[in-house]
Structure 1
């Protein structure tokens, strides 16, 4: 049996798929492929295919492809593409018009400093242009999967409390409401035995 192809996104996809199943959700509810394409430089069709479990593409994009994508999608205040001269000026003034033209055409490949200057100019993370498909998707989707994980913890926490007829929880102090599910999950092992002495779970009644 041939080995299943994997990349950096494969474990993220597997974890996300399992969590989505537990929450009775689908990938299209979690990931907007157009937004993901803008953030990663990967086409919407390709992202949709990977979210369906499609085979990874291990080929790294050429810098020229990423630069053209950034120029097309990160436009100026008037909605027009930045000129090559403007891009040269945006890159800390370290490039000439001709140098940017050669990079965009694929005639030349940039060194690390030049690549980083152009990435900063377009407000993307340093290293963005050299990310593989799997690396780019993993970087974008992993935080969303972590949000799913937190949501599932919250669902399980409230389910355990509701099973003991707890309808509301009030925490004293300056606890961040956004972190309350995680806080409740952390204190449940201490709280539940005490609750069970007074309010056993419905299944035990």
Structure 2
């Protein structure tokens, strides 16, 4: 919770603040996130308006995770920008605030839901260690970046696997009696000789 009482609810008054806060638990997506307790650096500006306090800021967070292709660990820094209006609960707009609007509680601002939206909604669902990461070999699981471009496996098309056992190197047998055209020619000659006699 951050105190906004220094603004005295005077529209037009503002205050800048820089601070470091620990990351809450479960602050990430499936493959990348902010480690619990890690320092989140906040650069904030509070501005008093008629309806409440407008908070504009930048959050710099450390990220840890694993590459979606090669599963190598990833460590980097991520920056998220946000802007949110916190309405006073005792004003006309605050009294009719919807579920998606945030309110001040005793002039205090709870930035955690704003930070979650700003950071989690912009994190990559499939983070990469580098843009051209080739990933893992689907056959043996070796990292293709280490294996090199010549890495491959001789694999038969699984659709033909059943036929390989049937064919098994069997060659078709030649017809009996030599070539078929020679046999038929000899029998024709014999028939013609009988007709002449």
TM-score after normalising by structure 1: 0.29
Higher relative contact order (CA 8 A, sep 6+): 1
TM-score w.r.t. length of structure 2: 0.30
Give 1 or 2 for the bigger CA radius of gyration: 2
